[in-house]
Chain A
């Protein structure tokens, strides 16, 4: 049995979540190959070759794959699919974008966002914003799966796999990249940080998110936000934690001025320790918080920063 895992990267670094998707592949069991598709991505291939449990790294290095457009990547993966029983990608925006396209081209269903592997054909996934956990048995001969990173511990990266260059180029010719507006931050990635501090509507405006920055600096934390804060324009979309935003499970999650709508809880309730700071003692966030402070965040945050 062979498993193809799509490597998440931005042509300069391999995303650490790929190591968790490889862990899911190991739980399924079989010969694991990593696909690196990008442009000028040889350094990614070198990194990928070190991922434990991987026996082969397939490298598709071509301008057609630079921005990982779904139309082109899905053709590439579909072309490779004949050799594999399982095709896995991380459930981040790239994988979520192209994988259902692969599934449909192969005429199979996709099992999205798995958090556990029961067997080679049976998987566990959250539904209804994580308010129910479904165990699903796939009836398709080929399994197309996206893996939620919070469900798996990363494998180590001290191996050495064979690197094989692919020369076929699949360019659907129906889409092109225009530009990126990337958020630049010195802080750790939301999905990878061991501490996350998030602000909600209670922050009142974008400027007040500065109050979170000092604390984030002291804790080495990433900064997140609730949908309400993003919708109100306080902060950009890539900071949204929730059912349809980023799913995080850090060791420590600090929710500031966030009431705790079920959609937000879906994105963070698997955190090890949750702290809530909110002036409304009745806010639902306190029902999932290990430690709560009922108080005005504009008093609590400066004090917390000062005392850390």
Chain B
């Protein structure tokens, strides 16, 4: 079966983003970019399914500008077989991204689509669920375990109260949580090999979808700064401060 893995280029998770002085957005100039960590887990899961003989082909897809080809190459180096870039210079809403991905699902007919649960830039946690709705597929979000069994997949989900396991009819959508797997590092030979794997570019405008924005970003401000406090020299002082200064314990 084919597995489709939509991925996203985002700010590197180690970088603390800064807001632009004019409050128009965050400043991404000269900031290190990377594959979204949850998307990397998605690629790893798909590659493991292939290594286990369950998946036959792993296709990575992204919606983004030319620079996002870098992240597609990363996915190829991790073991994806081929890649598709839906090219656009616009920062699209999750709904519009899901609509473009729906077209790729229609073309490729994957049995499983694995996405990251959330991108660490917009923190929306939407695209997988929206794609599931648009394609009429069942969804297993926040997955910590994925077991394909014939024409169903059992997904164990990380939920507020613990773990929940559900059974989904294939084709289905899975979104990854942190404990699903630990992604491998791409080896140098695999990075070299990835450069020769097929990468197809499709302009977003060619899909005939209305991609007009659904919201306007009015402003972006820095969060209220917390002032660093004091280091106390003993447990006694700490308890005294918590009781009498902060008044949070009695």
Contacts and interface: CB of A to CB of B under 8 A. Distances in A.
Contact of B220 (A97, A129, A133, A175): A133
* Interface bin, chain A: 35 or more
A102 B125 CA distance: 13
B125 A236 contact: no
Contacts of B124: 110, 112
A93 B159 contact: yes
Contacts of A104: 95, 98, 129-131, 133-134
A263 B125 contact: no
B162 interface: yes
B6 to A, nearest CB: 14
B123 A126 contact: yes
A298 interface: no
Interface string B129-169: 11111101111011010000000001001111111111111
Interface stretch (B63-71, B186-194, B197-205, B234-242): B234-242
B223 A100 contact: no
B76 to A, nearest CB: 26
A132 B168 contact: no
Contacts of A140: 214-215
Contact of A252 (B94, B129, B167, B242): B242
A153 interface: no
Interface of A: 10, 67, 69-71, 74, 92-94, 96-105, 107-113, 122, 126-140, 172, 174-183, 191, 195, 219, 227, 230-231, 236-238, 240, 243-244, 246, 251-252, 262-263, 269, 272-275, 281, 286-294, 300, 303-304, 307-308
17 contacts: A71-B138, A74-B133, A100-B94, A101-B130, A104-B134, A128-B120, A134-B217, A174-B137, A175-B168, A238-B161, A246-B160, A252-B249, A288-B228, A291-B229, A300-B235, A307-B236, A307-B239
